[in-house]
């Protein structure tokens, strides 16, 4: 059941890969704009590069997440899906995983942008990708739940970030700190603790949101 849902989601996303390109351009543009806020001071840009990356990812995620229920809303296929003898949980996890994959890809795609704009390179690329994966997982779990809610509501574009942003503060803090340590150096090996915090946040919210999703889509 879950694999079927996941396969459907990935197929949908592959079909709308133009939309992914658009979100990537949005994210890259955001990173560019952040550098204008600071000014062409190489030192400062490098110091804040982690923060900029994650803010860019966060803003882009609202676009991705809002889009993810677009197909269901367009054709009213949500009701159809729920009529099937399928667990709403499978629907949720399928969407959440698909969103997570897309956000991780986005994060990885933004790494070279970050390296170029902020001179924020690092040799620990795998570690960076791990942090991006864990951080975007933290965005995707509650984000998918709230996207399902707000897709059916007016003023959806404002409500999704309004609900999501306060909630993911711990994931944002941990991701930024971990990324920052990877880029700027980690003499006291604190990265591990931040990664543990991130993983705990993910574990809690992936289970809690899955549990509660049934209530969100029931009639």
Partner 1 sequence: MNVDNNRFPRLPWIILGLGIVFLAIGSYIGLFVAPPEALMGQVQRIMYVHVPTAWNALLAMTFAFICAVVFLFKPDWKWDARMEAAIEVGVVLAFLLCCQGAIWAKPTWGVWWDWDPRLTTTAVLLFAFLGILALRKFVDDPARRAIWSAVATIIAYVDVPIVYYSVRWWNSLHQMQSSPETVSRQFWLPLRMNAFGILFLMTAFIMLRARVASMRLTHELAPPPALGETA
Chain positions contacting partner 1, by CB under 8 A: 142, 145-146, 149, 153-155, 158-159, 162-163, 165-167, 169-170, 173-174, 177, 190, 193, 197, 200-201, 204-205, 208-209, 212, 215-216, 218
Indicate the residue among 57 and 113 with the shorter CB distance to partner 1. Answer: 57
Indicate the residue among 13 and 140 with the shorter CB distance to partner 1. Answer: 140
Indicate the residue among 10 and 55 with the shorter CB distance to partner 1. Answer: 55
- Closest CB 50 distance from partner 1, rounded Å: 13
- Closest CB 154 distance from partner 1, rounded Å: 6
Indicate the residue among 27 and 143 with the shorter CB distance to partner 1. Answer: 143
- Closest CB 172 distance from partner 1, rounded Å: 9
**What is the C-alpha to C-alpha distance for residues 184 and 182, in angstroms, rounded to an integer?**
6
**Region for 122 from its dihedrals, namely left if φ exceeds 0, alpha if ψ lies in -120 to 50, beta otherwise:** beta
Sequence-ordered strand ranges (E) for the chain: none
Closest among 204, 179, 190 to 47, alpha carbons compared: 179
Distances (CA, A) of 87 to 28, 83, 101: 37, 10, 22
Indicate the residue among 77 and 200 with the shorter CB distance to partner 1. Answer: 200
- Closest CB 115 distance from partner 1, rounded Å: 25
- Closest CB 4 distance from partner 1, rounded Å: 25
Indicate the residue among 107 and 142 with the shorter CB distance to partner 1. Answer: 142
Instruction: Write out the DSSP string of 66-129.
Output: HHHTHHHHHTTHHHHHHHSS--HHHHHHHHHHHHHHHHHHHHHHHHHHHHHHH----S-HHHHH
**Contact of 99 with 65, CB cutoff 8 Å:** yes
Give residue for tokens 């197909």.
Answer: 71
Q: For residues 151, 154, 160 and 161, what is the CA-based torsion angle, rounded to 10 degrees?
A: 150
- Closest CB 81 distance from partner 1, rounded Å: 18
């Amino acid at each position: 059941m879950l694999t079927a849902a996941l396969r459907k989601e990935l197929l949908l996303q592959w079909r709308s890969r133009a939309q992914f390109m658009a979100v990537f351009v949005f994210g890259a543009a955001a990173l560019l704009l952040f550098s204008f806020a600071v000014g062409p001071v190489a030192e400062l840009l490098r110091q804040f590069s982690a923060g900029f990356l994650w803010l860019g990812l966060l803003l882009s995620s609202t676009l991705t997440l809002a889009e993810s229920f677009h197909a269901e809303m367009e054709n009213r296929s949500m009701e159809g899906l729920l009529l099937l003898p399928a667990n709403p949980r499978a629907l949720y996890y399928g969407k959440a995983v698909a969103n997570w994959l897309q956000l991780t890809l986005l994060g990885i795609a933004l790494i070279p942008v970050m390296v170029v704009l902020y001179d924020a390179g690092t040799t620990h690329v795998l570690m960076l990708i791990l942090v991006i994966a864990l951080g975007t997982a933290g965005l995707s779990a509650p984000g998918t739940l709230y996207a399902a809610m707000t897709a059916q509501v007016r003023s959806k574009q404002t409500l999704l970030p309004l609900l999501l942003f306060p909630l993911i503060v711990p994931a944002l803090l941990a991701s930024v700190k971990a990324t920052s340590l990877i880029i700027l150096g980690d003499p006291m090996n604190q990265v591990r603790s931040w990664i543990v915090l991130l993983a705990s946040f993910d574990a809690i919210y992936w289970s809690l949101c899955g549990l509660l999703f049934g209530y969100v889509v029931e009639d």
